[in-house]
Chain A
Amino acid sequence: MRTKLLPLLFVAVAIGLWSLVSSLQIFSNLVLPAPWEVLEGFVEEAASGRLYQDVVASLFRVTIGFGLAVILGIPFGLWMASQPVLRDMMLPVVNFFRNLSPLAWIPFAILWFGIGDAPAIFLIFIAALFPIILATFAAVENIPSVYFRVANDYGMEKGEILRKVTFPAIAPQVITTLRVTAGLSWLVVVAAEMIAGNDGLGFAIWDARNGLRMDLLVSGMIVIGIIGVILDRLLVQLTKIPGVRWGYEQ
C-alpha cells in the first residue's frame, strides 16, 4: 500500500505546485505550460487519433528491433562463451560496440535504411544487441563449475546440459539485462524518431517543439514515461517465474 500511495502523493503535490506556479503566471507558456493546457493538448492528440498512431509506431519499432536483438544476441552470446577462439576474437569487438552510443549510428542508419521504420529499428537493434550478447556471455562464464559437475555426475548429455543447466543458470542475469535493454530501446526509439520520419512519439515531441506547442510536448513526455514504466512493469513479471526467482532473492 505504502509503496503505491507515496508516489501518488508525491505526484499530486508536484502537480499542485505546478498548477500554482502556472496560475501565478510567473513563466511564459513557452517556458512552462500549465497542467490544464497539457491535459487539453493530450485530449486533442488522443481525439485526433494521432496519439494512437504515434504509440503504435514507436512500440512497433521497439518490438521488432528489440526482438531481433534478443533472438540473435542470446544465441550469439552462448556461442561465444562456448568457443574460446570466438570469445578471444569477439569480446573486445563486442565491448567496443557496446560502448558506442547508438545515436552515433544515426547517419549510417539514414544512409543505409533511409527514413521511416527501418532506421529506427536498426538503431534499437544496435542499442540492444551488444549488451545482450555481453550479458549472456558473462552469465555463462559466471556459472559455478559445480553445476556442470553435478550435471555430469547424474549423466547429462551435452544438449541436455545446455537445456537443463546452462540456460536456467543464466536466465536471471539475462532477464535483468532484457529489462535494462528494453528500457534502453525505448530511449533510443524516441531519439531516433526525432531525426526523420512522420510518426512516433519522438516525432510527436519534436513536431510539438517545432510548432511551439509546449503543452503537446509535455503531454508527449508524460505518455513516453508512462509507457516506459508499463513496459518495465511487464518485464518485471519475467523475474517472477518460479525457476528464476533464486537469482533475485539470494
Chain B
Amino acid sequence: MSSKTEEPIIEISQVSHAYGSVRVLENINLKVMRGEFIAIVGPSGCGKTTLLNIISGYENPDEGSVCRRGKLSMIYQKDGLFPWYTVSENIELSLRHITKSEQRKKQTLSAIRLIALEGFENHYPHQLSGGMKQRVELARALSGESDILLMDEPFSALDYITRLKMRGELVTYLRERPRTVILVTHDIEEAAQLADRVIPMSSRPGSILQVREMTPPRPRSLTDPAVTNMVGELLKLLNLQNGHHVVNIKKGEDHAL
C-alpha cells in the first residue's frame, strides 16, 4: 500500500553545509512527494542527521534551499518524551492547538488506543519499556495536524526483536494516519523493508549516492526477495565506498552525528 502522489511536498535543492572546515553535506537535491516514505541510509558521520535538521528548519544550510509544503512532526532516537509528563500529557503536547479540553482528551484517548497502551495513560515514561516509549512518541507525532513525519533513528535504541515489531506497528499506524515520512537510519534492513525510495548517502562530505525505487509497494515482509536483494545491494554499495563502516552498520552500534 503506497499512498504516493505526484505532488512534491518537500523540495531540497543544492543544499551544502559545513561545520567550520568540515564539509558535511555536498550538493543535495531531493524531491519528496506527498504520501511518500523516504529512507535515508548511511554510515555515521554521513550528515544524514544534519540533513534532517535542515529539512526540519532546525538548522539553516550554508548553501541551497529547502521548500516545505506542510507541517512537520519529529521523532527522536530517545528522550523525546518529557519524563515529567504522563503518557497522555505527552501526547497532548501535539494537541495544544485544540482549545476544548474535552476534545483534546478524546483525541488523546484515540491515540492511546491506536498504540494499544490503554491503561497506561497515567504512567510516566520511565515506567515504560523502550518499545512502549517509542510507540508513545509515534502516537504523539501522529495525533497532531502534521503532514510530514521526520524520524531520526527512531528504533536504534531498541533491541532487535523490538525493532522488528516496531516496524510492523509503524506500518499499521501509517495506514490509520497517513503521513509523508522521512526516515533517517543506519539500519539498511529497516530502510529496505519500509521505504518507497531508499537513498544511500556517502560520508564526508555527505552526498546522495543513488536513489533506489523499491518494488513491490509497501508493506513488505522482511523475507521478501526485493528486500533481501536491496539489503545486499546497499551493503555492496556502501561497502565499496566505506568498507570499514559496514561492520558498525550491521551491529547498529553507530550513533548519529
Binding site for B on A (CB under 8 A): 144, 146-147, 149-150, 152-155, 164-165, 168-169, 171, 242-247, 249-250
Residue from B72, B78, B124 in contact with A242 in the complex, judged by beta carbons closer than 8 Å? B124
Contact B74 A149 (CB under 8 A): yes
Residues of B within 8 A of A (CB-CB), count: 20
Q: How far is the CA of A154 from the CA of B144 in the complex (A)?
A: 9
User: How far apart are the CA atoms of A245 and B123 in the complex, in Å?
Assistant: 11
Contact A150 B93 (CB under 8 A): yes
Q: Do B94 and A154 touch across chains, with their CB atoms under 8 A apart?
A: yes
Quick one: which of B88-137 are within 8 Å of A by CB? 93-94, 96, 124-127
Measured CB to CB, the nearest residue on chain B to A169 is B84
Tell whether A153 pairs with B73 under 8 Å between CB atoms, given A171-B84, A242-B124, A250-B126. yes
Residue of B nearest to A167 (CB): B84
Q: Is the interface of A mostly helix, strand, loop or mixed?
A: helix
Asked if residues A243 and B96 are in contact (CB atoms below 8 Å), the reply is no
Q: How far is the CB of A218 from chain B (nearest CB, A)?
A: 44
Task: Give the residues in chain A near B74, CB-CB below 8 Å.
Answer: 149-150, 153
Residue ranges of B at the interface with A (Cβ–Cβ < 8 Å)? 58, 72-74, 76, 78-80, 82-85, 93-94, 96, 124-127, 144
Asked whether, in the complex, the Cβ of A246 is within 8 Å of the Cβ of B83, the reply is yes
- Total contacts A to B, CB within 8 angstroms? 47
Q: Is the CB of B94 within 8 A of A246?
A: no
Q: A154-B96, A243-B84, A246-B84 are in contact. List 11 more A-B contacts (CB 8 A).
A: A146-B79, A146-B80, A150-B74, A150-B82, A150-B93, A169-B84, A242-B124, A245-B124, A246-B83, A246-B124, A250-B126
* Nearest 3 A/B pairs, CB to CB: A168-B84, A246-B83, A246-B126
- Point out the residues of chain A lying under 8 angstroms from B72, CB to CB: 153
User: What distance in Å separates the Cβ of B80 from its nearest Cβ neighbour in chain A?
Assistant: 6
- The smallest beta-carbon distance between B182 and chain A, in angstroms, is 15
- Chain A residues within an 8 Å CB radius of B94: 154
Contact indicator B76/A150 (Cβ below 8 Å): yes
Picked from A152, A165, A249, the residue with its CB within 8 Å of the CB of B82 is A165
Q: In the assembled complex, which residues on chain B have CB atoms less than 8 Å from the CB atom of A154?
A: 93-94, 96, 144
Residue from B78, B82, B96, B127 whose CB has the most chain A CB atoms within 10 Å: B82
* Most A-side CB within 10 Å, residue of B58, B73, B83, B84: B84
A250–B79 alpha-carbon span in the complex (Å): 12
Assembled-state Cα–Cα distance A171/B82 (Å): 13
Q: Of B78, B84, B144, which contacts A244 at CB under 8 A? A: B84
Whether B84 contacts A150 by the Cβ 8 Å rule is no
Distance (Å) between the CB of B12 and the closest chain A CB?
Answer: 20
Tell me, rounded to whole Å, the shortest Cβ–Cβ distance linking B93 to chain A.
Answer: 5
Question: Can you list 26 pairs linking A and B with CB atoms under 8 Å apart?
Answer: A144-B79, A146-B78, A146-B79, A146-B80, A147-B82, A149-B58, A149-B74, A149-B76, A150-B74, A150-B80, A150-B82, A153-B73, A153-B74, A154-B93, A154-B94, A165-B82, A169-B82, A242-B124, A243-B84, A245-B124, A246-B83, A246-B125, A247-B83, A249-B126, A249-B127, A250-B126
What residues of chain A lie closer than 8 Å to B125, measured between beta carbons? Answer: 246
Max count, chain A CB within 10 A of own CB: residue among B125, B126, B127 = B126
Chain B residue numbers with a CB within 8 Å of A147 are: 79, 82
**Docked pose: A147 CA to B144 CA in angstroms:** 18
User: In the complex the two chains form, is B84's CB within 8 Å of A155's CB?
Assistant: no
